[in-house]
Amino acid sequence: SQQGEEDPQALSIQEGENATMNCSYKTSINNLQWYRQNSGRGLVHLILIRSNEREKHSGRLRVTLDTSKKSSSLLITASRAADTASYFCATTGTSGSRLTFGEGTQLTVNP
């Protein structure tokens, strides 16, 4: 079974708008990561946030982490058609580096 859930399952927006995806998890974590996947191919690492961090930025990406609520959000600002993909959150537990993924959010950015 998956670690948690992602919300929404699908999101459709216009180019230039912001996209927000949420992720919840169930157990204690060491860190949380976000990945992008285009058309069922390999995953691309976007950003990692450690359990003692609350917010992190990378270019147009902003990730927040609330360990008390066991949740995270990924914000993509000024979206582009090229951002169309599936986005997954994945957590690493307190032992080992195995990733536990959510079900993903399918983002469609319309030009």
Partner 1 sequence: DAGVTQSPTHLIKTRGQQVTLRCSPKSGHDTVSWYQQALGQGPQFIFQYYEEEERQRGNFPDRFSGHQFPNYSSELNVNALLLGDSALYLCASSGTSNAPYEQYFGPGTRLTVT
What is the closest distance, in whole angstroms, from the C-beta atom of residue 76 to partner 1 in the complex?
19
What is the closest distance, in whole angstroms, from the C-beta atom of residue 54 to partner 1 in the complex?
18
| Pick from 49, 32, 35: nearest CA to 93 | 32
24/31 with CB nearer partner 1: 31
Contacts of 81 (CB under 8 A, 6+ apart): 15, 109, 110, 111
Backbone angles phi, psi at 52, to 5 degrees: -95, 10
- Name the helix (H) or strand (E) containing 83: none
Name which of residues 4 to 63 contact partner 1 (CB under 8 A).
30-31, 33, 35, 40-45, 48
Where on the chain is the footprint of partner 1 (CB under 8 A)?
A: 2, 30-31, 33, 35, 40-45, 48, 88, 90, 92, 96-104
